[in-house]
Amino acid sequence: MATKTFSFNTDPHVATVNGMDLRFQAEVMGDEFMDAFGELRDAQKAAQGIDLEDLSTLDPAALRGAARGLRGFLARLMLAEDAERFTALDVVTKEGQVLSTHQDWDEAQQAADQVDGARAKWAMPMPDRILVALMEWVTELYGGGADARPTGSSSASARALPRGGKGGAARSRSKA
């Protein structure tokens, strides 16, 4: 009788961004990942048609919506504490004083609208290139990409073979 043992990853995946660790769930079940990915796709559909070559047609609200969708996708896959930090929005004055912190963009914007010159901004600002790189990384982790593997070392990993003896005496074709 053949027996095969399977186990779940138990250690969270960690992405270090500018010295700050963002912890992602050790395992994400298929439906959970696909639901989060579906929400991201919906946010990106709303931003379709943006032509960065012709900025006169740029709809900032659509672009912001796509960026919020990307943050939401990543946050759904993070551990709760890190997701809360990652999606926190500060309402700040012109001078940069934080008036309040919110988890919802519309709520933060409403609070900012009540104070002259205040605005809502991400408490953890992050360049879009980093957000996109994080999205690609978690898609590989949870979507079954080529690099999907448990974090840390594995006792089942093959060890490198020791190099023994001398190198071969054959001539390389590239040197011929």
- Of 67, 102, 81, 89, the closest CA to residue 21 belongs to 81
Q: Is residue 96 part of a domain?
A: yes
Domain with 112, as residue range(s), is 89-123
Q: Is residue 28 part of a domain?
A: yes
Total structural domains in the chain? Answer: 2
Q: Centre a 10 Å sphere on the Cβ of residue 139 and count the other Cβ atoms it contains.
A: 17
Q: Is residue 16 part of a domain?
A: yes
Q: Is residue 175 part of a domain?
A: no
> Both 129 and 111 in a single domain?
no
pTM greater than 0.85: no
Q: Is residue 63 part of a domain?
A: yes
> Both 101 and 16 in a single domain?
no
Which pLDDT tens digit goes with each residue over 6-36?
Answer: 888 889 999 999 999 999 999 887 778 778 8
Which pLDDT tens digit goes with each residue over 83-108?
Answer: 999 999 999 999 999 999 999 999 99
> Both 61 and 15 in a single domain?
yes
> Both 67 and 100 in a single domain?
no
> Both 31 and 78 in a single domain?
yes
Q: Is residue 165 part of a domain?
A: no
Write the secondary structure of 53-112 as one string of H (helix), E (strand) and C (coil).
CCHHHCCHHHHHHHHHHHHHHHHHHECHHHHHHHHCEEEECCCCCEEEEECCHHHHHHHH
Question: In this structure, are residues 142 and 28 in contact, taking their beta carbons and an 8 Å threshold?
Answer: yes
Assign 131 to helix, strand or coil. Answer: helix
Which stretch of DSSP H or E encloses residue 44?
helix 30-46
CA atoms within 13 A on the CB side of 109: 5
> Both 45 and 111 in a single domain?
no
- Of 123, 102, 126, the closest CA to residue 114 belongs to 102
